[in-house]
Amino acid sequence: MKTNELPKYFKNIDDELWFEEVEVEKKDLKISYKVNKCFSYAKSPYQEVALIDTNAFGPCLVLDGVMQTTSADGFIYNEMITHIPVLTHKNPKNVLVIGGGDCGAVRELAKYEELETIDMVELDELVTEECIKFLPEISGGPSFDKRINFKFGDGVEYVKETDIKYDIVMVDSPDPEGPAKDLFGEEFYKNVKRTLKTDGVMVCQSESPMIHRNIIENTRKILKNNFKIVKTYIAFVPTYPGGIWSFTMASDVYDPSDMDVNRLPLETRYLTKKIVKSCFDLPNFISDLK
């Protein structure tokens, strides 16, 4: 349903429009962005989807009042969640992306010629439609590599039911609130493992080591119960509260310390051959995490 109203988290302050994001867990921190324009705002069956143009970070995707990705820094998140598992796997052919409706992750994956199939299971088709229209810096716009298959539906159900076995599964989820809550539970990760080949690699975004330490520890605990090798890595994600973001990857076979950095595609804006290794060198206060 398209709507003409403005999102309730927009505020008019001294004749300027501002988008105010409240940190979800403790509600004691807000980031506010001056808004130049609201490209689109609509309610899908799952959430409120807004595409807005901010002065500081350009066009952005906002879901239920939470900043998801911006034109200015979305490339960092997408490069980090994509290249680390692909380089860690020695010979990947097919990849499943769960979530990732902004299409930034599948666009990064398409940089690898060796991949034959890239499946994306996004719950909310409206997110993808709007990002294709209003966020081409992330989505790449309306034309997609032929290896990419959109399968709109529930990722939790998909990994329970599919017969396909993947080399890599990437869990590109929003915060564990609302429709994404199940993407942080043990049953889901057991099914992710079921969907992987025996030498498969999985990765998930595991939230901020500054603010959501309990989420990282819980995710790591679940993954350690199910995989032999579990490694957390970090990157700067300026527009997420706390600034540092963590990702956790898991496999029974492949260790990221053995990755061949020379397979990194040339066209990256954040990652270098050095950083694909050094992102695993955690500061002491993060390596303390269980």
28 binds its own copies (CB under 8 A): yes
In this chain, which of 10, 23, 85, 204 binds its own copies, going by CB under 8 A?
Answer: 23
In this chain, which of 183, 237, 250, 259 binds its own copies, going by CB under 8 A?
Answer: 237
In this chain, which of 3, 55, 149, 257 binds its own copies, going by CB under 8 A?
Answer: 55
Q: How far is the CB of 284 from its own copies (least distance, A)?
A: 5
Q: How far apart are CA 81 and CA 285, in angstroms?
A: 22
Q: Which CB, 90 or 213, lies closer to its own copies? A: 213
Q: Cα–Cα distances in Å, from 202 out to 20, 153, 229? A: 33, 20, 11
Structure-token pair, residue 234: 């970090």
Q: Which stretch binds its own copies (CB under 8 A): 69-77, 126-134, 156-164, 167-175?
A: 69-77
In this chain, which of 3, 29, 161, 225 binds its own copies, going by CB under 8 A?
Answer: 29
Going by C-alpha positions, the residue among 170, 169, 191 that lies closest to residue 182 is: 191
Q: How far apart are CA 276 and CA 81, in angstroms?
A: 11
3-state SS, 175-222, equals CCCHHHHHHHCHHHHHHHHHHEEEEEEEEEECCCCCCCHHHHHHHHHH
Q: How far is the CB of 283 from its own copies (least distance, A)?
A: 4
18 binds its own copies (CB under 8 A): yes
Q: How far apart are CA 221 and CA 153, in angstroms?
A: 27
46 binds its own copies (CB under 8 A): no
Question: Is residue 252 flagged as an active site residue?
Answer: no
214 binds its own copies (CB under 8 A): no
Q: Which stretch binds its own copies (CB under 8 A): 91-99, 162-170, 218-226, 234-242?
A: 234-242
Going by C-alpha positions, the residue among 9, 24, 2 that lies closest to residue 208 is: 24
Q: Cα–Cα distances in Å, from 257 out to 61, 84, 231, 285? A: 34, 10, 10, 21
Q: Which stretch binds its own copies (CB under 8 A): 30-38, 45-53, 85-93, 214-222?
A: 30-38
Residue corresponding to tokens 């996004």: 122
Write out the binding residues for its own copies, residues 143-172 only, by CB under 8 A.
Answer: none
Given the residues 64, 124, 167, 172, the one annotated as active site = 172
* Per-residue burial over 199-219, b = 16 or more CB atoms within 10 Å of its CB, e = otherwise: ebbbbbbbbbbebbbebbebb
* Per-residue burial over 131-157, b = 16 or more CB atoms within 10 Å of its CB, e = otherwise: bbebbebbbbeeebeebbebeeebbbe
Which residues fall in the annotated binding site for S-methyl-5'-thioadenosine? 47, 122, 154-155, 179
Q: Which CB, 53 or 186, lies closer to its own copies? A: 53
8 binds its own copies (CB under 8 A): no
Q: Interface residues with its own copies (CB under 8 A)?
A: 18, 23, 26-34, 54-56, 72-73, 75-76, 208, 210-211, 234, 236-244, 268-272, 274-275, 278, 281-285, 287
User: Which residues are known catalytic residues?
Assistant: 172
